[in-house]
Amino acid sequence: MPRILVIHGPNLNMLGRREPEVYGRTTLAEIDEGIRAKARELGVAVECVQSNHEGVILDRIAEAPGTYDGIVINPAAWTHTSVALRDAIKGCGLPAVEVHLSNIYAREPLRHTSLIAPVCIGQVSGFGPDSYLLALEGLCRYLSKRE
């Protein structure tokens, strides 16, 4: 059974009460429940982690090979700033899919550049919580074709 690590970056712990006009009212716990239900349907194992501390996430990515087959990540604000996160994803060698709840290209110019997208197999942006489910399905299809 493929094993997928789902990573939520900074401030996503505040989903539900953070800018609901942009991100909606769904909480992170509810998003994770949806991801686990989708994983059962797809026949994959998932672990979901969230941190506001970049080093915690960098360590999780570095430790992922051998335990996980792929990564789904919403890098949140680190999308636009973090060369370290980009290098970690590239360096770990696992296929990763970038996720955003909002359509980052329809928002302020500072969100139009992703440092992460070039080291991912793909990106899903703008479908709210469904972005995670589409990313998980896309990653699973990629992994099954690669076998």
Residues that bind ligand DQA (CB under 6 A): 11, 74, 76-77, 79, 100-102, 104, 111
Which of these is catalytic: 8, 23, 68, 132? 23
Q: Choose between 2 and 126: whose C-beta lies nearer to ligand DQA.
A: 126
Q: Let me know if 100 is a catalytic residue.
A: yes
Angle, alpha carbons 58-8-27 (nearest 5°) = 160
Residues 119 and 74: their CA atoms lie apart, in Å, by: 14
Minimal distance, residue 2 CB to ligand DQA, in Å: 24
- In the residue annotation, 53 being an active-site residue is answered as no
Least Å from the CB of residue 31 to ligand DQA: 10
Based on CB atoms, which residue is closest to ligand DQA, 50 or 74?
Answer: 74
Closer to ligand DQA by Cβ: residue 73 or 94: 73
Catalytic member of 8, 68, 80, 100:
100
Looking at the annotation, which residues are catalytic?
23, 100
